Amino acid sequence: MSSEELAALGAALGATVTEERKSTVISVPPSKVVEACRGVSSLPGLYHLSTITGVDLGDDIALLYHFWRERRFVQVRTTVPKAAPRLQSISGVLPAAVLYEAEIQDLLGVGFEGNPYAGKKLLLPDSYPPDAPPPLRREADPEKIRRIMELE
Amino acid sequence: MRYSPEGMMPFGPVHPSLKEPEYFKLILEGEKIVQVIPRIGYVHRGIERAAQERTWTKNIYLFERICGICSFHHSLSYTEGVESLYPFEVPARAKYIRVVVAELERIHSHLLWLGLVGHWAGFDTLFMWIWKDREHVLDLEEEITGNRVHKSYSAFGGVRKDLPDGIAQKVRAELGYIRKRAEYYRGLVQSEETLSVRTKGVGRISQDTARRLSPVGPLLRCTGIGRDVRAEDPYAAYDEVIPNVQTSTGGDIASLLVLRIDEVLDSCRMVEEALEKMPAGPFKASFPRVAPAGESTYHVEAPRGELFYFVKSGGGSTPERVKVRTPTMANLLTATEMLRGHTLADVPVVLTGMDPCFGCMDRVAVVDVDRAKEWSVSGEELRSYGIEYYRGRRS
């Protein structure tokens, strides 16, 4: 993996680029995610988006976009505040992201503007209580949600 | 188009005795499929959330239960992902044993799939022959790991027990039989009329589509893109036991059939090579029960393609976050593309062709654009319909 081309991409985006165990991490603000993903995926061999991971950090939600080439991953990383978890969808640039974003929308309540599943459900049952927190958030209590859904 | 996706989900919770349910809303113009909208989650069990409340070791057995076909690959990806957080090395012998079990699992998974395609295409003899042959592989797995399906064989630092005495000879004998059968099936699937009619030119995908939608595994390789995690980013002992990455340029179900049989043959070779090269020594190192803090991004090549695990440890007794992306999730969008332009009769074979973790057709809602009408059909009805449709076309 040529780290120069990633360093150059990071510099063009004004992002910090760090090397971790198996990943090169490009940290960007939410407004630059689409641009960063377009940049990474247009590098030779990096078209494959493995998936997007959402991590609940407490006050924020981290979104990690994993691209893979040879023995390294390239990770575009951003955080959105839990109070207003919205950002632009990358599905216009990378259609492969449609279902990954829809999954995060269901499980962590992050809104992706421009995703065809915006406002719809992919994984959760239609009967999932609208006032309950998304199930993968730390504040979600599985027992409580189960009671609301009258499964017990 | 007189169609609104809202409020048209005509069924409730899925019965657990059915095969794995996934829901595809098919938009039709007469016989032709113009759009496919997937809706999944009917068997979503919240395993990622459950993992956050279980210890590191207990999670090995939890993740194994995500899939009953490639269970070892789930535990392998999780254990190797977590092991990469430790500053210790896994013994070489354990890495070779992992290759043996993983490749045996690939053989049985591919055989299972091949049988299912036979079933959905209306060639049940093939289904029964292949599933009988697959038993030989499951017996080997039971002898090595103690279990046929959920092997519970992985452990941090290696595997749970060493190979039994004299297993190498037995494996060689059984693989000789599997190889003979696979070669026979390779000729059969290319010459048998039932399969040719149902699979040639069906579910075709181009390289461009594959690059756009990021499918994984055989679905990607059948378009001529030779990506395989085992070769490109070796784990376990795959840097010593190197796979010959199989590709095909057909891009349709017929080429997937041949490709997967070629992979079975290659896996037979790899199991034998791993047994031959396997060093003596310990099969397990002692790893502390709590993983050090850090993040790990890991993937392995499961039978269906790249299986991705992200693990975040805060240094506590349970993981802070584990993300799993299964190959079927990555292939789902490509499958919807494969269906577009085909007829309703092709649905069972194309959806099985992507090798979802089982035939996903138990419930398919059909919307006819011309008649603005919606109805549901079961998988079995759709299978019979496909067979009748092609019978009519041939006579």
A143 is a domain residue:
no
Among B54, B323, B328, the strongest candidate for a mutation testing the A interface, having the largest count of A CBs within 10 A, is: B323
Token reading at A148: 């609301």
In-domain check, residue A130: no
pLDDT of residue B17: 32
Q: What is the pTM of this model?
A: 0.90
pLDDT value of residue A67: 96
**A20 lies in a domain?**
yes
Instruction: Report how far residue B208's alpha carbon sits from residue B52's, in angstroms, rounded to the nearest whole number.
Output: 39
Q: Please name which of A126, A105, A151, A107 lies closest in space to residue B10, comparing C-alpha atoms.
A: A126
pLDDT of residue B19: 52
The model's pLDDT over B97-137, given as tens digits with 9 standing for 90+, comes to 999 999 999 999 999 999 988 888 888 999 999 999 999 99
Q: Where are the domains of chain B?
A: 23-44+329-394, 56-324
The pLDDT of residue B386: 77
Q: What are phi and psi of B110, to 5 degrees?
A: -65, -40
- Between residues B21 and B391, the one the model is more confident about: B391
Q: What is the pLDDT of residue B357?
A: 60
Domains in chain A: how many in total?
1
Give the 3-state secondary structure of residue B159. Answer: strand
Contacts of B44 in chain A (CB under 8 A): 123-124
A75–B323 C-beta distance less than 8 A: no
pLDDT band for position A132 (cuts 50, 70, 90): confident
Average pLDDT (B239-249) is 94
The per-residue pLDDT for B359 is: 35
Separation CA B71–CA A144 (nearest Å): 31
- More confident: B377 or B210: B210
pLDDT, tens digit, 9 for 90 and up, residues A6-53: 889 999 988 899 998 889 999 999 999 999 999 999 999 899 999 999
Over residues B58-87, the pLDDT tens digits come to: 999 999 988 888 899 999 999 999 999 999
- CATH code of residue A79: 3.30.460.80
As a whole-number percent, the residues of chain B with pLDDT over 90 amount to 60
Kind plus residue range of the DSSP H or E element containing B308: strand B305-313
Question: Quick check: is A12 in a domain?
Answer: yes
Beta bridge partners of residue B306, listed in sequence order: B301
CB A34, CB A27: distance < 8 Å: no
Radius of gyration of chain B (CA): 22
| CATH number for the domain whose boundaries are B56-324 | 1.10.645.10
Asked whether residue B26 carries a pLDDT value surpassing 90, the answer given is no
Chain B residues bordering chain A (beta-carbon distance below 8 Å): 5, 9, 13, 38-41, 44, 46, 48-49, 84, 211-214, 227, 232-233, 294-299, 306, 308, 310, 312, 320-321, 323, 325, 329-330, 332-333
* Chain A residues whose beta carbon lies within 8 Å of the beta carbon of residue B312: 55
More confident residue, B341 or A83: A83
d(CA B122, CA B388): 9
The helix/strand/coil state of B45 is coil
Per DSSP (E only), the strands in chain A are: 16-19, 23-27, 49-56, 60-69, 72-81, 86-88, 111-113
Mean pLDDT of B130-159: 94
Q: Do A23 and B297 touch (CB under 8 A)?
A: yes
Q: Residues in chain A, how many?
A: 152
Nearest to B231 by CA among B153, B306, B157, B179: B306
Quick: pLDDT tens for A40-94. Answer: 999 998 999 999 999 999 999 999 999 999 899 999 999 999 999 999 999 999 9
User: Which chain A residues touch B if contact means CB-CB below 8 Å?
Assistant: 20-23, 47-51, 53-56, 64, 66, 68, 70-71, 73, 75, 94-96, 98-100, 103, 106-107, 120-126, 135-136, 142
* Residue from the list B213, B299, B332 with its beta carbon closest to the beta carbon of A50: B299
Nearest-CA neighbor of B385 among B361, B368, B369? B361
Residue A131, domain member (yes or no): no
- B61 residue type, one letter: Y
Residues pairing with B154 in the sheet: B159
The tokens describing A24, both together, are 């090169």
So what's the pLDDT on residue B8? Answer: 32
Instruction: Record the tokens describing residue A30, joined without a space.
Output: 């939410």
Residue closest to A101 by CA, chosen among A59, A62, A53:
A53
> Would A105 be classed as within a structural domain?
yes
Q: Please give the residue range of the domain that contains residue A46.
A: 3-123
Q: What is the three-class DSSP state of A6?
A: helix
